A and B are shown apart, each in its own frame.
Chain A
Amino acid sequence: MQLDFSFRETWLHKINPSFKFILIVALFIHILFIHNINIIINYMIGTAILYILFTGHPWKRLLIISIPFILIFLTSSTSMIFFGKGEVTWFKWGLIHITEEGFFRGLHLGFRGLVFATLGIIFALTTRPVYLFYSLMQQLKLKPKYAYSFMAAVRLIPIMFEELQTIRYALKVRGVQSQKGILGFYHLLKSYSIPMLSQSIRRAHRIAVAMEAKRFSDTTKRTYYYLVGFSKLDVYLLIYFVVVIGTSYYFANSYSYFPIQDVRYNN
């Protein structure tokens, strides 16, 4: 099995990975303090533009990736909509109690989940792991030991997919027909995980020895094949988010979708 995600390189790919990482973590934290549903909707539009136009991946793939987003939106909003507290009742049936306040709070949560997911996926789609770890070593002084272990591990992922398929074939060849129920699931888990684990441990050990045979050591200094620095693009990304957040707040006040400033429930 070949895992090949080819894409067009955009300016987002050229941003310093450590900077991108820290920026997105900061944005995550900031989002937690937004309680105005109008702001979060504008915010979502701003990140969606980045996702759709600048990740450089084909339309089809972007569309497929957004399927779980919808799921996140639905699950996080519905529970709040159905069971949230509120005073203006719209509908009541057994445990389900939909109120105006609960409804908007649910929508707000859904949109918040969407923004989170979009930001995360933008990072994942536009950052090559190798550059990320080179950047972490150079800008954030991550120890090479950890950086290279992760890079070696990333390399093993496609190999593991191949192994998974081989084991599937092997079980079929041996006449194993999947059993039903929890016990069946347990057997299935066991027959996949033990060979895969044992192979992975062995392979990891071999790679570690091979790395040391190539004079990899944590104590000596090293030079870098990729020098990851900063550029104007980093500033552009920062400006982009400042503008998105600024306009989100501005438009939320002057052209609001809903007449609600704070979705939290206050007595």
Chain B
Amino acid sequence: MEVIASVNKLRLKFPGAESLLFKDFSLSIRKGEKVLIVGSSGSGKSTLLQVLTGLIPSSVEVPMKVENIKIPLSWGFVFQDPESQFCMPYVDEEIAFVLENLQIPHDQMPSYISYYLKQVGLSFDDMHTKTQILSGGMKQRLAIAAVLALESDVLFLDEPTAMLDPEGTEEVWNTIKEVGEDKTLVIVEHKINHVVDFVDRVIILSDNGEIVADGSKQEVFEQYKHVLIDQGIWYPDAWKDYLLANGKPRPQSTGWDSNSAITLTDFTGFRGKNKKIEIKNVDVFPGEWITVLGKNGAGKSTLLHAMMDLIKTKGVYTIFGQDAKKINKLSDYAAFVFQNPEFQFVTNSVYDEVAFTLRLEKWNLDKVSNKVEELLEFYFLKNHEHSHPYQLSMGQKRRLSVAAATVKGQPILLLDEPTFGQDAKNTFAILEQIEYLRSQGTIVIMVTHDLNIVEHFSTRVWVIDQGELTIDCSSSEYTKGMHKVVG
């Protein structure tokens, strides 16, 4: 079959990097193929897509050399971050932007716009809707619609669902499946559960930019499973294999103080003047791992914000018998880990980041350095202590954020989707570290969408629906109910 995109002997190096990212790299993609490219973060997957589309070097200036390159005549590119690929504030204007670029006459635009929106299954009463109010899944589908408007035969998808919840992820992959049927697809992804059904060729890249495996998906998944595990790819059986390899029992929260550590009674949290979360009455005990589940916008993060006193609250909230409102520094009792780790970094090096809170507390120097060394060791960050936090990989940033937040050994740990966007290896590493803290008696309250965590790590489940706590039960009860519903 006809080759639609190819590179031959590609050499590419990022300025400042020590070695070449690609050295004599060759790849060709034939018309109609559905190709999945996997590899650990930093293996150059996204860079490869940008080279194959000519975005490197024309839009992103990176020094590269290539003997032969074939760029598809017409291609479309869907990026990872739904927020930063739009340039217009309204749905219709975003697609119109593409149509303008292609010089489609003004009077034909509205019908084109509704046509493309329909293709990705989006319908609005008024196409002139703000993109800001769309969910992540809808935003990515809009991005796909804009790409379809280019009328291209080849679609390049760079982890289009990395920032979406499970519901949005499914929406987006279903859309891609539908619109991509007669197109060539080149997909980079590390959560491959949804993708495996419809790709026919799988390529694994190694950390130093070489092709480890390239073949039909059956072949690759059978023969190179160890590589997938090693690279932290979310292949369909990742959880099963992890559990088998570790023989992990479900954690038990017994054996701890039976006095409740946190009590919430008629506890409400407000954003502005609106009541966004209400908890009638709960007690939380040391050594519990509570996963907070619920749809997007149900109020899960708001609950954590309320418990951290970041927003206005009313009602009874006691921590170890003290009224939380009278505690001068709540951060002495509770640690908080944000969804985006970058937002909580306040210093310029990994070491300073961990030491930051201790220095604020005026610990003496020896004690600070001992504690910091210990934590850096525990979170595998020892080799990076002098790096700037922003220079770390996704997984390292996440571990640093947990290390820095928990440095004072607070008895309560609040986490907002800590495994979000993490590869399998990092996810398991961070879960194990949280589990260690829990086994020492820390209370873990964690917002997540991942039901595997509920089943295998947490001890208790809270389900939030429209700002109210609707289910509060043990994880085993919850998963039992879940299996009943499913099968």
- Given contacts A167-B343, A170-B346, A214-B101, are A176 and B84 in contact (CB under 8 A)? no
CB nearest neighbor in B for A208? B59
Q: Which residues of A contact B83 (CB under 8 A)?
A: 159, 203
A-B contact pairs, 18 of them (CB 8 A): A130-B88, A130-B93, A148-B97, A151-B88, A152-B87, A155-B87, A163-B343, A166-B338, A166-B340, A166-B343, A172-B331, A175-B360, A195-B342, A212-B59, A215-B101, A225-B93, A225-B106, A225-B109
- Are the C-beta atoms of B97 and A175 separated by less than 8 Å? no
CB nearest neighbor in A for B346? A191
CB distance from A56 to the nearest CB of B (A): 17
Tell me, yes or no, whether B381 is within 8 Å of chain A by CB. no
- Are the C-beta atoms of A210 and B336 separated by less than 8 Å? no
- Given contacts A174-B346, A222-B100, are A207 and B55 in contact (CB under 8 A)? no
- Are the C-beta atoms of B55 and A213 separated by less than 8 Å? yes
In the bound complex, CA of A174 to CA of B403 (Å): 12
How many residues belonging to A are interface residues under a CB distance threshold of 8 Å? 45
- Are the C-beta atoms of A210 and B79 separated by less than 8 Å? yes
CB nearest neighbor in B for A206? B84
- Given contacts A159-B83, A198-B390, are A209 and B59 in contact (CB under 8 A)? yes
In the bound complex, CA of A172 to CA of B345 (Å): 12
- Are the C-beta atoms of A203 and B310 separated by less than 8 Å? no
CB distance from A102 to the nearest CB of B (A): 46
Tell me, yes or no, whether A254 is within 8 Å of chain B by CB. no
Q: Which residues of B contact A193 (CB under 8 A)?
A: none
CB nearest neighbor in A for B310? A169
Task: Find B85's partner among A2, A130, A210, A220 (CB 8 Å cutoff).
Answer: A210
Q: Which residues of B contact A167 (CB under 8 A)?
A: 343
In the bound complex, CA of A171 to CA of B344 (Å): 7
In the bound complex, CA of A158 to CA of B131 (Å): 12
CB distance from A91 to the nearest CB of B (A): 48
In the bound complex, CA of A199 to CA of B89 (Å): 19
Most buried by B among A166, A176, A213: A213
In the bound complex, CA of A175 to CA of B405 (Å): 10
Tell me, yes or no, whether B98 is within 8 Å of chain A by CB. yes
Q: Which residues of A contact B59 (CB under 8 A)?
A: 208-209, 212-213
> 8 Å CB contacts to B: which residues of A148-192?
148, 151-152, 154-155, 158-159, 163, 166-167, 169-177, 191
Q: Which 9 interchain pairs have the tightest Cβ spacing?
A: A225-B96, A210-B85, A175-B331, A152-B87, A213-B77, A206-B84, A170-B344, A173-B336, A212-B59
In the bound complex, CA of A201 to CA of B310 (Å): 28
CB distance from A129 to the nearest CB of B (A): 9
Q: Which residues of B contact A209 (CB under 8 A)?
A: 50, 55, 59-60, 79
CB distance from B375 to the nearest CB of A (A): 15
- Chain B 82-125, CB-CB to A under 8 Å as 1, else 0, gives 01111111101100111111111110010000000000000000
- Are the C-beta atoms of A220 and B150 separated by less than 8 Å? no
CB distance from A258 to the nearest CB of B (A): 47
- Are the C-beta atoms of A154 and B89 separated by less than 8 Å? yes
Tell me, yes or no, whether A224 is within 8 Å of chain B by CB. yes
Tell me, yes or no, whether A243 is within 8 Å of chain B by CB. no
CB distance from B87 to the nearest CB of A (A): 4
**Interface residues, chain B, with chain A CB atoms under 8 Å away:** 50, 53, 55, 58-60, 76-77, 79, 81, 83-90, 92-93, 96-106, 109, 132, 146-147, 150, 305, 308, 310, 329, 331-332, 335-336, 338, 340, 342-346, 356-357, 360-361, 390, 404-405
- Are the C-beta atoms of A224 and B100 separated by less than 8 Å? yes
In the bound complex, CA of A225 to CA of B426 (Å): 46
Q: Which residues of A contact B106 (CB under 8 A)?
A: 223-225, 227
Q: Which residues of B contact A158 (CB under 8 A)?
A: 132
- Are the C-beta atoms of A214 and B81 separated by less than 8 Å? no
Task: Find A175's partner among B132, B332, B345 (CB 8 Å cutoff).
Answer: B332
- Are the C-beta atoms of A173 and B102 separated by less than 8 Å? no
Other A-B contacts than A207-B87, A211-B97, 18 sampled, CB-CB below 8 A, are A148-B87, A151-B88, A152-B87, A155-B87, A158-B132, A159-B83, A169-B305, A173-B344, A174-B331, A174-B346, A174-B405, A176-B360, A177-B329, A209-B55, A210-B86, A214-B146, A215-B101, A225-B96
Most buried by B among A2, A214, A227: A214
Q: Which residues of B contact A214 (CB under 8 A)?
A: 97-98, 101, 146-147, 150
In the bound complex, CA of A166 to CA of B81 (Å): 18
- Are the C-beta atoms of B98 and A174 separated by less than 8 Å? no
CB nearest neighbor in B for A205? B60
CB distance from B352 to the nearest CB of A (A): 12
Tell me, yes or no, whether A54 is within 8 Å of chain B by CB. no
CB distance from B110 to the nearest CB of A (A): 9
In the bound complex, CA of A66 to CA of B93 (Å): 33
- Given contacts A195-B343, A216-B101, A217-B101, are A210 and B87 in contact (CB under 8 A)? yes
In the bound complex, CA of A212 to CA of B53 (Å): 11
In the bound complex, CA of A220 to CA of B101 (Å): 8
- Are the C-beta atoms of A175 and B329 separated by less than 8 Å? yes
CB distance from A170 to the nearest CB of B (A): 4
- Are the C-beta atoms of B344 and A212 separated by less than 8 Å? no
CB nearest neighbor in B for A168? B310
- Are the C-beta atoms of A203 and B84 separated by less than 8 Å? yes
- Given contacts A169-B305, A174-B346, A175-B357, are A223 and B104 in contact (CB under 8 A)? yes
Most buried by B among A170, A172, A191: A170
- Given contacts A209-B60, A215-B98, A225-B99, are A171 and B346 in contact (CB under 8 A)? yes
CB nearest neighbor in B for A215? B101
Q: Which residues of B contact A207 (CB under 8 A)?
A: 84-87
Q: Which residues of A contact B308 (CB under 8 A)?
A: 169, 172-173
Tell me, yes or no, whether A232 is within 8 Å of chain B by CB. no
CB distance from B474 to the nearest CB of A (A): 29
- Chain A 213-243, CB-CB to B under 8 Å as 1, else 0, gives 1111100111111010000000000000000
Q: Which residues of B contact A210 (CB under 8 A)?
A: 77, 79, 84-87
In the bound complex, CA of A25 to CA of B103 (Å): 33
Q: Which residues of A contact B340 (CB under 8 A)?
A: 166
CB distance from B93 to the nearest CB of A (A): 6
Task: Find B81's partner among A154, A173, A206 (CB 8 Å cutoff).
Answer: A206
